[in-house]
Amino acid sequence: MSPRQRALATSNGQPLAADRLGVRKTYKLYIGGAFPRTESGRSYEITGARGGALANACRGTRKDIRDAVRAARKALPDWASKTAYNRSQILYRIAELMEGRRDQFIGEVMAAEGVGRQRATRLVNAAIDRWVWYAGWADKYSQLMGTVNPVAGSYFNFSVPEPTGVVGVIAPEGSSLLGLVSRLAPVVVSGNCAVVLASESRPLPAVTLTEVLATSDVPGGVVNLITGLRRELVTHLAGHMDVNALDAYGLDPAVATAVEETAAENVKRLVRPPAGGADSVDWLSSEAQSPYLIGEFTETKTVWHPIGS
């Protein structure tokens, strides 16, 4: 790309055809349904996988995480008590709106991950289809994981899965969009609210995803996204006492021990990174989606009532 083309380009790295100066986007955090800058006023420059500056991203802070957790906690009762049918439609709506922005996502994934258009198209298609797949689980997973228990006594006894609460999600570092969606969708489909740490080096597609979420009937606070440096953020998310669970699947396995120790302080449910790290995962595989992943972020509640006259 020539200097002239680069100057014209928008921040997804794609040069425009016309000789018009592109209007670049400011990439911001997503907290409680709003798009604030980080309270610190700091940013860091995001470089494309093939070089060249793409944009500045917010360098979020502990305070931003605290604000996001508060927004998530506030949104939780409403989101968790929506009917499963309603949550199903809202997740499907996310897919609808992503479909409308396919080209934008493809361009951003190409720039972020350094893949060709064909590969980026497959990744974006899979991300959209993943929302559709999980949307269908909203009103089914509890039929898979709930039970009526034949206790030896005159009692009616049943178990149902319920959302765990506020879940921290450490998004995979390499797969900027599909990896993120693959981890986020199973968290929110059951009624949890999420505080997501975006990929540090490739955060831009994640920010664009939040713009989709903001316009697709997902209530503010259900998904919150923080961009920034992991060494500054992960410990605060893992140690926050009002976060109930942590999906550390996207965490660098080298720091997993310390993070897990921190998370133990309030008995967080924790999903560990895979042995080879999340970047070793084939996110296009059907193995990367599972109803059992929904189950990781649910609590089984068992109810007893006597049977009698």
Partner 1 sequence: MCLGAIIGRVTVTRKPKKPETLPAPASWGMTARGIPWEYAAAPESTDHVAIRPEYGLFIGNEFRPSRPRDTFDVMNPATEEHLARVARASKADVNRAVVAARAAHDNVWSRLPGSERAKYLYRIARIMQERSREFAVVETMNSGKPIKESRDVDVPLAAAHFFYYAGWADKLDYAFPGRTPRSLGVAAQIIPWNFPLLMLAWKIAPALAAGNTVVLKPASTTPLTAYLFADVVRQADLPPGVVNIITGPGEIGMELVRHPDVNKVAFTGSTAVGKMLARAVAGSRKKVTLELGGKAANIVFDDAPLDQAIEGIINGIYFNQGEVCCAGSRLFVQESIYEPLLDKLKARLSTLRVGDPLDKNTDVGAINSAGQLAKIAELVQSGIDEGAEIFQPDCVLPDRGFFFRPTLFTGVSQSHRIAQEEIFGPVLSVLTFRTPEEAIEKANNTPYGLSAGVWTEKGSRIFKMVAAMKAGVVWANTFNRFDPTSPFGGYKESGYGREGGIHGLGAYLDLSADGANGR
Q: Which is nearer to partner 1, 59 or 183 (CB)?
A: 183
Q: Which is nearer to partner 1, 76 or 135 (CB)?
A: 76
Interface pick for partner 1 out of 142, 234, 244, 250 (rule CB under 8 A): 244
**Residue range at the interface with partner 1 (CB under 8 A); choices 1-9, 89-97, 143-151, 229-237:** 143-151
Sign for the pseudo-dihedral over CA of 75, 100, 171, 13: negative
For residue 274, the minimal CB distance to partner 1 (Å) is 7
For residue 266, the minimal CB distance to partner 1 (Å) is 6
Q: Is 168 in contact with 305 (CB distance < 8 Å)? A: no
Q: Which is nearer to partner 1, 3 or 153 (CB)?
A: 153
CA–CA gap between residue 78 and residue 57 (Å, rounded):
31
Q: Does 83 bind partner 1 (CB under 8 A)?
A: no
Interface pick for partner 1 out of 49, 94, 271, 278 (rule CB under 8 A): 271
Binding characters for partner 1, 277-296, by CB under 8 A (x = yes): ----x---x-xxxxxxx--x
Q: Does 53 bind partner 1 (CB under 8 A)?
A: no
For residue 176 the two structure tokens come to 């900027």
Per the DSSP assignment, residues forming a β-bridge with 58 are: 43
The full DSSP string for the chain is --HHHHHH--TTSPPPSSSS---PPPP--BBTTB-PPPTT--EEEEE-TTSSEEEEEE---HHHHHHHHHHHHHHHHHHHHS-HHHHHHHHHHHHHHHHHTHHHHHHHHHHHH---HHHHHHHHHHHHHHHHHHHHHTTTHHHHH-EE---SSSEEEEEEEEE-SEEEEE--SS-TTHHHHHHHHHHHTTT-EEEEE--SSS-HHHHHHHHHHHTTTPPTTSEEEE-S-HHHHHHHHHH-TT--EEE-TTS-GGGHHHHHHHHGGGT-EEEPPPTT-GGGS-TTSGGG--HHHHHHTEEEEEEEEE---
For residue 148, the minimal CB distance to partner 1 (Å) is 9
Q: Does 175 bind partner 1 (CB under 8 A)?
A: no
Q: Is 8 in contact with 201 (CB distance < 8 Å)? A: no
For residue 74, the minimal CB distance to partner 1 (Å) is 15
Q: Does 306 bind partner 1 (CB under 8 A)?
A: yes
Q: Does 157 bind partner 1 (CB under 8 A)?
A: yes
Q: Does 265 bind partner 1 (CB under 8 A)?
A: yes
Q: Does 227 bind partner 1 (CB under 8 A)?
A: no
Q: Does 85 bind partner 1 (CB under 8 A)?
A: no
Q: Does 51 bind partner 1 (CB under 8 A)?
A: no
Q: Which is nearer to partner 1, 52 or 304 (CB)?
A: 304
Interface pick for partner 1 out of 8, 272, 279, 284 (rule CB under 8 A): 272
Interface pick for partner 1 out of 249, 250, 277, 278 (rule CB under 8 A): 249
Q: Does 300 bind partner 1 (CB under 8 A)?
A: yes
CA–CA gap between residue 202 and residue 227 (Å, rounded):
10
Q: Which is nearer to partner 1, 207 or 293 (CB)?
A: 293
Given the rule CB under 8 A, which residues bind partner 1? 81, 144, 147, 149-153, 155, 157, 159, 164, 244, 249, 256-261, 263-267, 269-272, 274-275, 281, 285, 287-293, 296, 299-306
